[in-house]
Amino acid sequence: MFGIDVTTAVSAAAGTVFGLLATELVSSLVRKQQRHEKSRDDDQDEIVATIDAVRTLADDYWTKSQEELGHTEAVLRGRIVGGIHHINLLISGLFSGDAKRSCDVAAFKFSDAAGGGTFGNPGRSSEPDRLTSIHSAALTLKHLVKSERRKLRYKPLA
């Protein structure tokens, strides 16, 4: 009788420990997934914010001539190029494979619109007509980044 009680108690204790361990394991995996997803969301938000920042800088840059901008021209140019590079860095950290390739192509089109043509040329005139292609490329890139972000799958054992 006493032996059966001990066996039952040991079994119950083992079951409780196992249950606690399993619960903790599942909780740990869920927390890891939540951190991973938040990190991806943060990267996506930073890409979108940087695209908007570069777009605003490009507005200031292309609506004035080099002469009108004076020394600010070099400042805007540096910030636009730096912003585009930051977008490329974030995309490379967030995506891989076909998703990255698609985002790279869209990022190139955005950078070409914002920093191509007469960008930085001495005596450059203002080119407000360029803003349409800049905004269009920015919206396309933002949409693509969000779309590819939604497709990312969590790999628990990765």
Partner 1 sequence: MKTISVAKDFSKFPAGRYKNMGKGSGEEFREKHLIPAMEAGEPCIVDLDGVAGYPPSFLEEAFGGLVRLGYSADDVLKVFQFRAGPAYSAYKIAAETYIREAVPD
Hey, how many other C-beta atoms are within 10 angstroms of the C-beta on 62? 24
Pair 84, 112: CB distance under 8 Å: no
Hey, how many other C-beta atoms are within 10 angstroms of the C-beta on 92? 13
Q: Given the rule CB under 8 A, which of 1-9, 10-18, 99-107, 146-154 is the region that contacts partner 1?
A: 99-107
Asked if 63 interacts with partner 1 (CB under 8 A), we say no
> Is the torsion defined by CA of 63, 107, 83, 137 positive or negative?
positive
Task: Report the residue from 53, 100, 127, 133 that binds partner 1 according to the rule CB under 8 A.
Answer: 100
Query: How many residues bind partner 1, per CB under 8 A?
Result: 28
Site string for partner 1, 105-134 (x = CB under 8 A): x-xx--xx-xxxxxxxxx------------
Contacts to partner 1 by CB under 8 A: 77, 81-82, 84-85, 88-89, 91-93, 96, 100-101, 104-105, 107-108, 111-112, 114-122
